[in-house]
Amino acid sequence: MKQLTLSQITNAVGGILNVNCDDYITDVCTDTRKITKGCLFIAISGENFDGHDFINTAFENGAKAVMSSKLLHTDKPVILVKDTRIAYGKLASYYKGLFNIFCVGVTGSVGKTSTKEMISTVMSKKYDVLKTQGNFNNDIGLPRTLLSLEQNHTGAVIEMGMSSLGEISYLSKITKPDLAVITNVGVSHIENLKTRENILKAKLEILDGMKETSKVILNADNDMLFSVKDILGDRALYFGIDTPALVTASDIKVSGDSTEFKINYDNKSYNAVVGVVGVHNVYNALAGFLVGVQIGLSPEKIIEAIAEYKNANMRQTIKDCNGIKVIEDCYNASPDSMKSALEVISSVECDGKRIAVLGDMLELGSLSSDMHTDVGKLAAESNIDMLLCYGELSENIIKGAKQNGLFDALHFSDKDKLADYIRKSVKKGDAIIFKASRGMRLEEVIKLAFEQ
């Protein structure tokens, strides 16, 4: 982190500094376990904790100053603000403004992280890129990411998540992206937002922190995103496979553990390959292609970057376990991403059986039962030989599968028993995919089944 003075920080957040001191701050932290000497500790109040309770610990661990929304009687440096969470965002926004970087904001119901990784790979052909790490895409994680900017950075890819209206608007106003990408509008978080129309509204909030002339890259094959083409006018840059768009893909085929396709742009076609399987990865590549075009890269250089793309951890990573092809996709799940996972296991090359291990999809509200049943129907219609499910909600996946003719389908309520069944049933030459919402921690079954 670039050094900031206490007065710079105080002015940036509209706070009050309690002492006449203008020391330098070399780091910002919200966790006393990660305090570094010379850092500013920001006391955030959360659902399960209040950072103000740890202010003394922060000083004891070497913090040079703290930011607090509570009046403290101390002669140590304290920046008093009305709301430390809001002040954290203001500080991150101010700090980003000290850099001359090209910033891309990414959001969507599914595929945000893999698309972010693709865009980062493409942008790295021109810029030294900072990207969101892990799931730091909310009002705490995003400021942390921006405050990680260093002097060498010339580009950034910032992921923005949400569960309610207004959240992406806030994140976008902090980040001020130069370009935005919306991957799709599905049903993730429909429990809170009730309708896909509200989800679309929430995703379009990414425009709130952008200049009125800045472009937004959208998936033309997504009905909700395509519906705003007339509203956004020439600000909208569309990519697609089934729908005519600025850039499209055709001749898609899976070859081994990669996907080959043609990218069609500006009346020319280019051969491309991405080292992962699944049509959803082609969409990611198309979004990355358009970002590359916007930053002035040649199509050839963009395609070179696409070929170098690698999935982030727990997002359809493929590994060989004693001759069994294991596909780990345990980071998150929704009906759309379940469909993608089933497409992946259906198309992956293997000499034996294709097996899907699916867990609960969370945050679907009153539609949950029907949507799990629909996933079961998709499983029955896909090219898999066996379906194994874990979690209370996933009983409906089994129900939907059996109703539609897939009878080799079993439900488990215990991870140990599921892992034991997998060890006994899956053979060399088989391929197996694991997919569930993050809260199900389905990766634990992989460890139990294959890594003991």
Give per-residue pLDDT as tens, 361-399. Answer: 998 888 899 999 999 999 999 999 999 999 999 999 999
Residue 6 pLDDT > 80 = yes
Q: Which of 137-141, 234-238, 330-334, 421-425 has the lowest mean pLDDT?
A: 330-334
pLDDT class of 185 with cuts at 50, 70, 90: very high
285-322 pLDDT, tens digit each: 999 999 999 999 999 999 999 999 987 665 678 888 99
> Greatest CA span in the chain, whole angstroms?
75
Residue 426 pLDDT > 80 = yes
CA–CA dist 412, 404 (Å, integer) = 20
Give the chain's mean pLDDT: 94
Residue 63 pLDDT > 90 = yes
CA–CA dist 74, 279 (Å, integer) = 59
Query: What is the number of other CB atoms lying within 10 angstroms of the CB of residue 136?
Result: 16
CA–CA dist 164, 351 (Å, integer) = 45
Residue 15 pLDDT > 60 = yes
Task: Let me know: does 64 contact 37? Beta carbons within 8 Å.
Answer: yes
Strand partners, 364: none
- Residues in contact with 212: Cβ distance below 8 Å, sequence separation at least 6, in sequence order: none
- Residues in contact with 230: Cβ distance below 8 Å, sequence separation at least 6, in sequence order: none
pLDDT class of 255 with cuts at 50, 70, 90: confident
